[in-house]
Amino acid sequence: MLTPAFAAPGHFYRGNLHCHSNLSDGALSPEEVCRRYKAEGYDFIALTDHFVGRYGYPITDTTEFRDEVFTTLLGAELHSGTQENGDLWHILAVGLPEDFAPSNSPDFHTIDGQETGPELAARAADAGAFVAMAHPHWSGLTQDDALSLERAHAVEIYNHTCATGTDRGDGQHMADLLLSKFRDVSLIATDDAHFHWPDAFGGWVMVKAEENSPEALLEALKDGHFYASQGPEIKAVSVTRDHLDIHCSAASTIVVQGHGCASQAQFGQSMTHASIPLDALRSSPWMRVTVLDAAGKRAWSNPIWR
């Protein structure tokens, strides 16, 4: 049986859900950010400038840069309240309405009387946004922090600017901790590009939707009908009683991970298919797939709940 992201009707569209322009701390204008992603073959982006008072609480309007082959989703990176380490929350919200009410966040620091991060995330979700935990490694999120964000749809399993600029781009550990606490989160890879150094075009999502429109893409994101990638393609994932069957672009390693240390891998040269026995994962309530190519680039499926 095909898993939902591959059984859903439609086509796969490539998109970046996290980047910045010079309306906050990015180097380029919104028009140039959109131009570059379109030129690189992306089908859509969400330009998510920092939603703080220093920049006038921007929800950057990119609607004029949409055309018949490229679209945009409105969104922002939200900030309010204190994590366990004392730092300000960073919460990605894609699909925000233009009139989303500002938080009391004048700058990149916490102040008394602010909304908490979970309160702000819940308000964004109530407004219709797809909400994600941004760069958990870079932010220093604890497990308790992440569990408190009850309305989050996803966690960044990879953040390209944090990987290239600080070597803290990974979110796999946090994702697995959340899944093992039965938190049903999906897994996104993003650029978080600011264009001050080569931090673009390194992580994206492939979203299965019936059309490349903001409405269809947002619905598919909330339904988990996508996978995340740095390069490899996942073409199909299906579950039988005893095996997980994966079809993909040329890979050197295909791994199925589950609760705790449960995992099973297959290795080869230019593999495009693997049928992985699930003996080592029989007691795991969830599984996810990682595909690695010969260059070490990864693609990640969303969790499969059993």
Paired strand residues for 228: 205, 300
- CATH 3.20.20.140 residue window(s) in the chain: 4-229
The two structure tokens encoding residue 292:
């690695």
**36 vs 215: CA distance, rounded Å:** 23
Asked if 52 and 111 count as a contact pair (C-beta separation under 8 A), the reply is no
| Domain 4-229 class in CATH | alpha beta
Asked if 131 and 151 count as a contact pair (C-beta separation under 8 A), the reply is yes
> Tell me, what's the pLDDT at 171?
98
In this structure, CATH architecture of domain 234-305: Sandwich (2.60)
Residue type, 297: K
Place of tokens 């339904």: 223
- CATH 2.60.40.10 residue window(s) in the chain: 234-305
What's this model's pTM, rounded to 2 decimal places? 0.98
Residue 200: alpha-carbon gap to chain centroid: 15
**6 vs 19: CA distance, rounded Å:** 27
Residues 79-126 pLDDT 10s:
999 999 999 999 999 999 999 999 999 999 999 999 999 999 999 999
Asked if 202 and 230 count as a contact pair (C-beta separation under 8 A), the reply is yes
Residues 58-80 pLDDT 10s:
999 999 999 999 999 999 999 99
pLDDT by 10s per residue, the chain, length 306: 999 999 999 999 999 999 999 999 999 999 999 999 999 999 999 999 999 999 999 999 999 999 999 999 999 999 999 999 999 999 999 999 999 999 999 999 999 999 999 999 999 999 999 999 999 999 999 999 999 999 999 999 999 999 999 999 999 999 999 999 999 999 999 999 999 999 999 999 999 999 999 999 999 999 999 999 999 999 999 999 899 999 999 999 999 999 999 999 999 999 999 999 999 999 999 999 999 999 999 999 999 998
**22 vs 33: CA distance, rounded Å:** 10
Residues 274-290 pLDDT 10s:
999 999 999 999 999 99
